[in-house]
Every structure is written in C-alpha cells, then in structure tokens.
C-alpha cells in the first residue's frame, strides 16, 4: 500500500515513525509493506515510486527543516508526480477557508485515492461535499484523529456502537483550554495560565483558535456530521470561549464544589461550545491536558472515553487505526 504524506510537521513525522515501527505488523497481516512514496511540507517535497525511508525523512526534516530538496508552488502537481493509494493529509488547519488541506483532499478523492486526515478545517467547512466526492469516486475518507487525537470517538460511535442510536456527545475536546482552566482552579490568573501553556507548547503563539473555542467548534461539527448525519458547518455552531472567565467565577464555582470547563456538545438538535459548571469528581471535571467525552447511547447507555488530544505519536496512533481500516478493506 503506497502512502503520500501531505504535511510533515509534528504529526506527519510521528506517522512516518509509526510506519517504520509497524513494518513487521503490516507484513504479517497483509503479506506486504505499507510504503511512503511521497512527502510534502509547506515548502518542499520528495517522491520515490519505490518507497522512501521513513526514518530518513524525519532526519532530513530535523536537520534541514525541509522534507526534500525540491520546492513547489502547486501541491496538486506534486501529488500527480507519483502513483499512490492513500493520501495522509496532516497539513496545518485553516478554519476559514480549509486551506491547502481542502485542495489536497478534493484532488486526491477526484483521482480515486483513499484519504486519511486529521485536518479539521476541510471537514468543518465542507464535510458533506467531501463525503459525496468520496462516494462518487469509490474512495474511503477517514478522519478518526481529527477529534480527540488518541481518544477514540468517531469510529467508536459509527462502528463499535453501530445499530444503536447515539443520543448526544459532550466533552472536553481541547486540551489547551482545559490546561488553562485547571491552572485557574489553583489560583493562577488567566493570562499567567495562558503564558504557561504557551511555554509548555500546549498553546500556539496566537492562541485564538483554542481559547475562543474555534478548535472545539470544528470538532463538534465533525461529530455532528459523522455521528448524527447532520449537514452543518463551522458557522452553525454557537460558540463561547474562555477569555471572559474571571478569577471570581472560578472561586464561585469552587465554593459550590464545582469547576468550569469548556464543553462541546452535539446531538440531533444541539451544536454548542461554551464554558459550563461541572461538579468536582464528574468525568468531565478532569484537570490537565486530557480530552474526555461522554457518549449517550440508547442501548449502551453512557460511555466515557478519554485520551491525549494531541501529540506526535498520539495522533499518529489514530491515523494508524484508519490506515489499518483502509488496508483491511482493500487488501483482505
């Protein structure tokens, strides 16, 4: 199975390492290798129809800050340089336009290629269009890692809980906000907690997508469309971030044995991101950077899942699960 990786930052490099580590697994399960035939970052690319060394790609990126010696201006032209079976699209998220990720995904699907992505922007803006394009061209489009990173939720709802009716999903879907709010529980002002999150690499230099709730909103849209069969986009979400939460609000919550957490909730009729009061000890009252979600099913009842919502290998693990699903479908 031939793989092209678009986006070779933290997650792309982590996935390359996982491909290298699971060589024996692929051979045992499928009798063949999963090989990387192309990789592209924001400025450069490298392709080889016979396969590239995954660890060599990571080393090159680390040493030169580029994945390859060749530069490009049109990512779709690079995709057409080599024959691949699966596009792994992990370029940076653009919640306003979908960015190059949307262009790459549409191009691959139109060419009959299966796609795995963790890129929230295209899914939050053009979910139905992308799914229809995949269906028209007989492709698979999978995106487990787009919500919750290593926390299994999409495939859990759509596959493991198949046959039952999912009534609602609500949860902490952004580890950065949860880290900040957890620090505020311990008396830190918002700005100090945000600065610490940035210093530790949990928050970007521009933290807007996290603290204004936009990242969580994207994930809520993806859940609404994939789990509940809705046709909504980012603009349909009622969003309130955490920037207005004061130390007084945190203290008042604590006096009631509660904490404030940014909760995303989705159902057949609801699409909301907002800070909410959560009782201490409740599954959604966790501290730190973990993501957690409660799934309410008519048959299985309430199910709680949690895991790391971001990270090099954590997100790569979700991509791996989708890769195996695709390979099972195509090769077994």
Residues designated catalytic? 219
SS3 category, 129: helix
Cβ 1 vs Cβ 330: under 8 Å: yes
Contacts of residue 248, Cβ cutoff 8 Å, sequence gap at least 6: none
Backbone phi, psi, residue 30, to 5°: -120, -10
Q: Is the dihedral of CA 261, 266, 269, 271 positive or negative?
A: positive
Count CB neighbours of 331 within 10 A: 14
SS3 category, 163: coil
Q: Which tokens hold the place of 57?
A: 């790609």
Q: Residue 262: name the closest of 211, 197, 221 by CA.
A: 211
User: CA–CA separation, 279 vs 305, rounded Å?
Assistant: 18
SS3 category, 260: strand
């Amino acid at each position: 199975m031939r793989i092209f990786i678009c986006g070779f930052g933290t997650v792309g490099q982590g996935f390359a390492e996982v491909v290298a580590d699971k060589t024996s697994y692929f051979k045992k399960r499928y009798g063949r290798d999963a090989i990387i035939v192309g990789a592209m970052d924001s400025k450069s690319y490298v392709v080889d129809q016979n396969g590239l060394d995954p660890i060599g790609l990571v080393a090159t990126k680390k040493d030169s800050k580029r994945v390859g010696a060749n530069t490009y201006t049109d990512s779709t032209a690079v995709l057409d340089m080599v024959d691949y079976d699966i596009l792994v699209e992990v370029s940076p998220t653009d919640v306003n336009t979908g960015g190059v990720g949307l262009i790459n995904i549409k191009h691959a699907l139109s060419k009959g290629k299966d796609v795995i992505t963790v890129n929230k922007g295209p899914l939050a803006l053009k979910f139905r269009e992308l799914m229809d394009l995949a269906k028209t061209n007989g492709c698979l489009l999978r995106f487990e890692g787009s919500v919750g990173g290593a926390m299994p939720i999409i495939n859990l709802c759509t596959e493991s809980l198949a046959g039952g009716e999912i009534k609602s999903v609500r949860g902490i879907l952004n580890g950065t906000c949860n880290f900040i709010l957890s620090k505020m529980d311990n008396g830190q002002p918002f700005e100090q907690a945000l600065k610490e999150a940035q210093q530790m690499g949990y928050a970007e230099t521009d933290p807007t997508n996290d603290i204004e709730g936009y990242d969580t909103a994207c994930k809520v849209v993806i859940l609404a469309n994939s789990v509940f069969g809705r046709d909504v986009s980012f603009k349909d979400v009622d969003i309130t971030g955490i920037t207005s939460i004061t130390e007084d609000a945190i203290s008042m919550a604590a006096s009631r044995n509660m904490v404030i957490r940014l909760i995303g909730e989705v159902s057949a009729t609801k699409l909301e991101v907002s800070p909410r009061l959560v009782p201490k000890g409740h599954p959604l009252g966790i501290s730190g950077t973990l993501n957690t979600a409660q799934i309410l099913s008519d048959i299985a009842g309430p199910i709680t899942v949690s895991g790391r919502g971001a990270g090099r290998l954590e997100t790569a693990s979700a991509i791996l699960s989708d890769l195996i699903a695709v390979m099972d479908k195509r090769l077994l």
